[in-house]
A and B are shown apart, each in its own frame.
Chain A
Amino acid sequence: MISIKNLKAGIEDNLILKGINLEVKAGEVHAIMGPNGSGKSTLACVIAGKEDYQVQEGTIDFEGEDLLELSPEERAHIGVFLSFQYPVEIPGISVSNFIKTSINERRKAKELDPIPAPELLKMMREKMELLNIKKGYLSRNMNEGFSGGEKKRNEIFQMAMLEPKLAILDETDSGLDIDTLRIVANGVNKIKTKDNAIIVITHYQRLLDYIVPDFVHVLHNGRIIKSGSKELAHELEEKGYDWITKEADKKWA
């Protein structure tokens, strides 16, 4: 589905990603772990198309399309979704209006008519149930005054509504209590099919108990220094990152 080759990117002269190679196929869940400052969120932002980052080398192919040539909205239209680590508050726009606009903008790009209101409402109700979201929530302003848990739940609600092919969950577990974590993870699992893929970015093994990855990658200093199965996450939880990062630092010194 997505194939990242030798991706080098950064902000101005500061190179953050120093040659990322990653291949994710439909139906797979990949976890990207790593210490603070290793480049995890940068990778997420570069895939989503944040213009603050400049790509210096490498390619990202998404189902045959050169992703780096597309605007953030075009990437969303072909099925890329980023669940933000820090979702943005937008006072003045209700959750329902925001989601309606997102869906209709994507439909417009595909030359489809706006979604009929009853269909939209039915879909919203179903997805809200999935994530244990109460009714009054739809008329609240986008993320305004939301608790950390509500913001993350709102991200996954949008993911459920937009039905992306590739979802990148950037530290979706941060700031969540264990009950909310379970609800959010269960929601993600229900959205998961054999046709879509998920990249989970996290510091901790905890989330991976609920969203079970097929592959775990360790990102350090802008490179993937180790890949393995879900057992690797357990190993990291026990031993920390030092044992692999030291080895890698020697190699790239």
Chain B
Amino acid sequence: MGLIENIKSFSIIENLSAEKNGLFQSFLANGFPTIKQEDWKYTSLKKIVANDFSVEGNGVTVSEEDIKKYSLGLQHKIVFCGGNLISKPSIDGVSISAFSEFESQNKDAISVLNSSLAKKGFTIKIAKNTVVENPIEILFFTSTKQDNFVQYRNNIDVGENSQIKFVERIQNLSDSKCFVNHFTQINIRKNAKVEYNKIQDNNENAILIDNMNLYQQQDSSVIVNTLIFGGAFTRNNLNFEQNGSNCDSNMNGISILDNNQFADNHTFMDHKQPHCRSNEMYKGIYLGDSKGVFNGKIMVRPDAQKIDAFQSNNNLLLSENATIDSKPQLEIYADDVKCSHGCTIGQLDDDALFYMRSRGIREKEAKAVLTYAFASEAVNNFTIAEVKKLAQKRIAEKLHVDLDFNL
């Protein structure tokens, strides 16, 4: 049986409230998105949803070694095992608990499915004027014998003048397929600062659809870094909404894919207020038969005067069979704004390659150094040393070189 049938059976056991059932029925009306929809034109879920996934399967244990292996070794850790919160740090001004209900505005099928059925995930509240120096690691482990579909639904509320950083990783520990529908909503109140790092380095049986909404109030500043190294299929929907003046929104993305990996970054930057800034930089490196998609939309509403928005998407195709579909979109309804975007698709520069080889750097290593140089503009924006180091290590590993890019 396909995923939809299994989800239907699951929903019956769940005994949904009228409201949730309404949402679920609206999901069922059209089912999973298909390539006929503009937002999914290059991203097909057809083969994935044909799998006989069990829904919200149990039976997970996670060992200390697993945690150690997949953690960056940061001081604060939130650990989920099969969707259950198994450990959390105690930090002044920060309350961390398991899933609790919240509403979301998203109308797309995947988000609606999440809001109708998801019951696992975290709720984090940061009191106002709380500055958390050390970043918080959030680890989600899954490991079921059968192929499995799971949904997490997370909510973060960052109080006025507070500052916090997160590093998130979803890890499948089994050889079965795991399809995660991940939904995270973050409210960033006045003058708060948030950084969220997504380490998407799952195994080759992992499928991820990650939706993140960020609602910013005035004077707030947000950075979201998306690092895609692993996983079979990854789709990110990253939505920023500026609801006050003088907001900063930053997105840095680095993807390095090989074999048959697929990754799609969909971003939506909604400028609704004046005197705000947004800066978006996505770098993609494609090897083997990998495939990438980038769709970045910047919306500048009529009230969003004097904003400064920048978007870039640069791609390096390192094999004959790798492909990238890139689509920048600008929609501007205000007249006094600075808006620019750029998209490039290219290969390594032969002259630079010869230059390096003439200095004794072997061809494979020279290619790796040039590839890293290409990515470094985004990597250098990573503020957490452990995240930057991981990126450097994984890029070297994926290019099969033993080089330390850090000096």
Contacts and interface: CB of A to CB of B under 8 A. Distances in A.
Interface of chain A, main secondary structure: helix
A92 B360 CA distance: 19
A101 B355 contact: no
Interface string A94-109: 1011101111011001
A92 B377 contact: yes
Contacts of B361: 73, 101-102, 105
Interface stretch (B92-100, B204-212, B362-370): B362-370
Contacts of B377: 91-92
A94 B373 CA distance: 9
Given A72-B357, A109-B360, A88 B349 contact: yes
B407 A76 contact: no
Given A88-B349, A97-B405, A158 B359 contact: yes
B365 A105 contact: yes
A207 to B, nearest CB: 21
Contacts of B352: 88-90
B374 interface: yes
Contact of B358 (A48, A90, A91, A93): A48
A92 B358 contact: no
B355 A87 contact: yes
Nearest to A84: B355
Contact of B407 (A50, A73, A94): A94
B40 interface: no
Interface of chain B, main secondary structure: helix
Contacts of B354: 50-51, 72
Interface string A4-43: 0000000000000000000000000000000000000000
Contacts of B103: none
A55 interface: no
Contact of A76 (B351, B358, B370, B375): B358
Contacts of B376: 92-93
B403 interface: yes
Nearest to B375: A92
Contact of A162 (B359, B365, B372): B359
Contacts of A106: 360
A91 B373 contact: yes
A83 to B, nearest CB: 10
Nearest to B365: A105
A82 B352 CA distance: 14
A88 B360 contact: no
A77 interface: yes
A104 B407 CA distance: 13
A46 to B, nearest CB: 12
Contacts of A90: 352, 355-356, 370, 373
26 contacts: A48-B358, A73-B362, A73-B363, A73-B366, A76-B360, A84-B358, A88-B349, A88-B355, A90-B352, A90-B356, A90-B370, A91-B373, A92-B372, A92-B375, A93-B370, A93-B373, A98-B356, A101-B369, A101-B403, A102-B359, A105-B359, A105-B360, A105-B361, A109-B360, A158-B359, A162-B359
Given A72-B354, A102-B361, A158-B359, 13 more contacts: A50-B358, A73-B360, A81-B358, A88-B355, A89-B352, A91-B377, A92-B374, A92-B377, A93-B373, A97-B405, A97-B407, A105-B362, A109-B362
